[in-house]
A and B are shown apart, each in its own frame.
Chain A
């Protein structure tokens, strides 16, 4: 937690309404996102109970599992959900664009748009991840076949859940996280996991302040939880009798239909308020102008979508239960790079985020007081253009001589710190030598060198290319990391569990019903 954000929280608490911590939107918003509000059955291992899903506020579709402990019904639900999600994904596989790769020597194609999934909170992402895990290894043949769309859904949900771990990705977004990235509420991070409370702070209803709206949102009788966990009181008073009535209806078609309708009514009542909040939250985010580098990051999401679609088309297998040592290291490295680059890009896009870095001594803002745009350094083999500028700042300058600084206004240009001199009134003069971003000649094109009077932000944060690390091939995994994997993929599950191994774990009898 940066001091700037903490201060915004304190201000929110005092003001009774959330305070902005971003001036631009840092995530991509699809004009047609797929919103999912899932509910699970308490006590079970990620057993779906219901989901409200759709790509427009008036297109909510309710899918329920009348007996969540029945595995047949669970996979029937998965097939129904696949019937909504897979066509939605396919609808983005229309147009492609060509992208130059390998310095223009080759070309590849990627989809011009990509799907975006939205859930209320991080627990919603966990639900999709586990639901993907429980479906992607299912067989379409054998003893307990499932509909062919079920394992496919599982692989796509796994793709989205993995993408959600990628800093800066907008492929699968938890709305609470998207909102708290842009607004600081007057409550703690634990309470920020509750979507109705977060929206209560950001956009309190008339006559209430944020604290009261959030307190009201915590009462499950006024405001059902945003899932996937249900309100225990709802479970005991409404859901349990409704499920029992459905089970008790047996073969009586009329009774079963009425019990099913009653279940639907009860579950819709729990889900609909969150559904409305989802679209309200999206509206608040959409009102912010997008950051300059958001489109670039969305292009990475489109790349990933294209790559996974091709992987599936080419008959590639489902994601493994666990990564091998090398794959895990590569993935971690990728995530770390993405995290660094995401933090830098947000700072470049947003002065309010850059302010956090200024407070931490990683950036300062000053006025250009002197500029020598035509300075040429001819001490080397051939003369090179090395303009110098002097910047005067009132902020503390915590960078050493020789350090390289960058400016969000000219990200391709490096500025080497030549002199740092304290001046009158607590100001500091910094002389910088510029290189890059000025063409190849010995005269800088207009606008490439900051002019006297320009206000400039200089930072140690670089949005430059980060070289990828080198990793061994899986068959050369060093002994420190378990050595090369065995010929067949090793089942990493505890060896104590009998039987169940191989690509399709025996998840028990699909017909089984218990409890």
Chain B
């Protein structure tokens, strides 16, 4: 065990690290500047238990109705060996599926045991690698990562379509993996489609509706980042097998129910931007030593520790709280409480409108003209004084 790994193990209190999944990795892109979160996520600390212990439990419950509905829709879409699904995806990509595709279930037989079976990862790797258009990909496609040079539409990709006449291949729940902060994390995309338009496509099945061609932007954005995690993992897998990683399209296919019924509809989502953000954040987490150098030596995030001690320890690593954290991070309520005297707790636009002054008491002191503020605050101070005067005038009903 390296010293870094040992330090991370100590931070989480010697317990096994919490397993990441695509959703938690996606969440990492949310607030990349937050050291507290980066340390806890790198260590795989049990954040929900931590939040509970320090008295600010997270509220991330999931309704069983939502879970049931999600599972039912996925099962419906994947029925009949994915025939309808293949038709939908091929149509969205603007290509001919070339007859019925093959269906490989890489998840079903060892479901109860979870994703730990080495065999399953191995089978996924072998099956996906075998589906790549051998050596040919090397010759025709640009090597390395050149996401901006990729064609954007399905139609434009048809030129690369395999001429071998091999049918399209669908892989149900393949097991992929990715290095996150020095640990191997297993990932399970809903589906990977190969040999459509000459590329691999990640297919995500989501149960939120697309109504008149529009879906909830927040949900689409979350699905896009999550899919980008799969694209990244799939690209690494192919690269390790000696294939061109750009065989994996940066256009992921989102399959959702259409309007208010259960009929599936496929849409393309370009995740190039998400891939860049993810890559940057994963690289940052890979340099976890830099991060740990800024963390006090006795820092602990062991949920079993004394609450007061934990609160002090957490406060010793700076957080960057923003109201968006409430929807993404289990520790957000703690950080919000800690930041309650800061203007960022009111939202970034508020802080900007207040001339970037960080502290609420400072804002009010500047506005009241109690002190002129630091030289670099002169402009903000003048603005705040004027605002306070105008507010007071209008509220006291002076004619204006």
Q: Do A and B bind each other?
A: yes
Among B64, B262, B361, contact of A508 (Cβ-Cβ < 8 Å): B262
Q: Which of A153-196 contact B (CB under 8 A)?
A: 186-191
Q: Is B164 an interface residue (CB 8 A)?
A: no
CB <8 Å contact, A188 and B347: yes
- In the complex the two chains form, is B63's CB within 8 Å of A42's CB? yes
Q: Which of B70, B211, B349, B350 has the most CB of A within 10 A?
A: B350
In the bound assembly, the distance between CA atoms of A218 and B345 in angstroms comes to: 16
B383 within 8 A of A: yes
The answer, yes or no, to whether B346 is at the interface (CB within 8 Å) is yes
> Which residues of B have CB within 8 Å of A352?
391, 394-395
Q: Decide: A133 and B212 in contact? CB cutoff 8 A.
A: yes
**Interface on chain B toward A: helix, strand, loop, or mixed SS?**
helix
How far, in whole Å, are A178 and B326 apart by their CA atoms in the complex?
24
Tell me the residues in window 466-515 of chain A with beta carbons closer than 8 Å to chain B beta carbons.
492-494, 496-498, 500, 505-508, 512, 514-515
- Could you say which residues of chain A place their CB within 8 Å of the CB of B137? none
In the complex, per-residue mask of B354-372: 1 if CB is within 8 Å of any chain A CB, else 0 = 1100001101100100000
B-facing mask of A208-247, CB < 8 A → 1, else 0?
0001000000101000000000111101100110000000
B93 to chain A, nearest CB (A): 10
How long is the Cα–Cα vector from A455 to B399 in the complex, in angstroms? 7
Q: Mark A334-360, 1 if CB is under 8 A from B, else 0.
A: 000000000000000001101100110
Q: Which of B68, B213, B353 contacts A494 (CB 8 A)?
A: B213
Q: Kindly state whether residue B92 has any CB partner on chain A within 8 Å.
A: yes
Q: Is A61 an interface residue (CB 8 A)?
A: no
* B391 touching A190, Cβ below 8 Å: no
Give Cα distance in the complex from A463 to B336, angstroms.
42
Q: Give me 22 A-to-B residue pairs in the complex whose CB atoms sit less than 8 angstroms apart, sorted by A's number.
A: A2-B353, A3-B384, A9-B350, A10-B363, A11-B364, A13-B360, A41-B65, A42-B65, A133-B211, A188-B346, A232-B61, A232-B66, A322-B213, A352-B391, A359-B383, A457-B400, A494-B213, A494-B258, A494-B265, A498-B263, A506-B261, A507-B261
7 closest A-B pairs (Cβ-Cβ)? A43-B66, A508-B261, A232-B61, A43-B69, A42-B63, A6-B353, A45-B209
Which B positions have Cβ atoms within 8 angstroms of A? Answer: 59, 61-70, 72, 76, 88, 91-92, 207-213, 257-263, 265-267, 323-324, 326-327, 340-341, 343, 345-347, 349-355, 360-361, 363-364, 367, 383-384, 386-388, 390-391, 393-395, 397, 399-400
Q: A45-B208, A355-B391 are in contact. List 19 more A-B contacts (CB 8 A).
A: A2-B353, A3-B387, A6-B343, A42-B63, A42-B66, A42-B69, A43-B65, A43-B68, A44-B65, A45-B257, A134-B259, A188-B346, A189-B349, A191-B323, A352-B395, A355-B390, A355-B400, A493-B259, A508-B263
> CB within 8 Å of B: which residues of A?
1-11, 13-14, 20, 23, 41-46, 130, 133-134, 186-191, 211, 218, 220, 230-233, 235-236, 239-240, 321-322, 351-352, 354-355, 358-359, 365, 455, 457, 492-494, 496-498, 500, 505-508, 512, 514-515
